[in-house]
Amino acid sequence: MNPIVPPASPGPDARPVDVAFVRQEARLHYRQSLTPATRDSVGLDLCACLETEEALIPAGARLRVPTGISVQPRVPGVAGFVYSRSGLGACEGLVVAQGVGVIDPDYTGEIFVFLLNTSGEERRIKNGDRIAQLVFQPCVRPLWREVAALAPTDRGSGGFGHTGR
């Protein structure tokens, strides 16, 4: 039996993020996942908030899965990133279809996750299943400036494989 691990304190780098339940049934799915799974967990597990008890994803197909929540970081320069859950991807072949999803700080609608079934078999997800994880990260918004050429570097313009294996 695993011992209960108390969550770590938010720490000095914590940033407030508001969460709204846009589907009331989502409250049941997130009852525990708004608390980190372990002391050092950084992601919020996103849960499937389906209109039916389960959904099938054929081999090679994608499915748009509602999560029932919306989020809003309360400080500038922080955005949400939706990543695949490692076990779901490695064991079941279900990954975030576009690789990583970006939740811009000014997007306040429901979060949807497009799952891609990379396995050779049909996969099933159930209402409340943890399907992805949401991680908040600081982002740098660049001040773009046009130049005639970039400053020289040791690597230069060498492309894929240029630095060796």
Taking only the tens place, the pLDDT of each residue in 49-96 is 999 999 999 999 999 999 999 999 988 889 999 999 999 999 999 999
Question: From CA 49, how far away is CA 51, in angstroms rounded?
Answer: 7
Q: How far apart are the first and last CA of the chain?
A: 43
The confidence band for 8, taking pLDDT boundaries of 50, 70 and 90, is low
Q: For residue 110, which of 16, 42, 25 has the smallest C-alpha distance?
A: 25
H/E stretch holding 86 reads helix 86-87
The confidence band for 32, taking pLDDT boundaries of 50, 70 and 90, is low
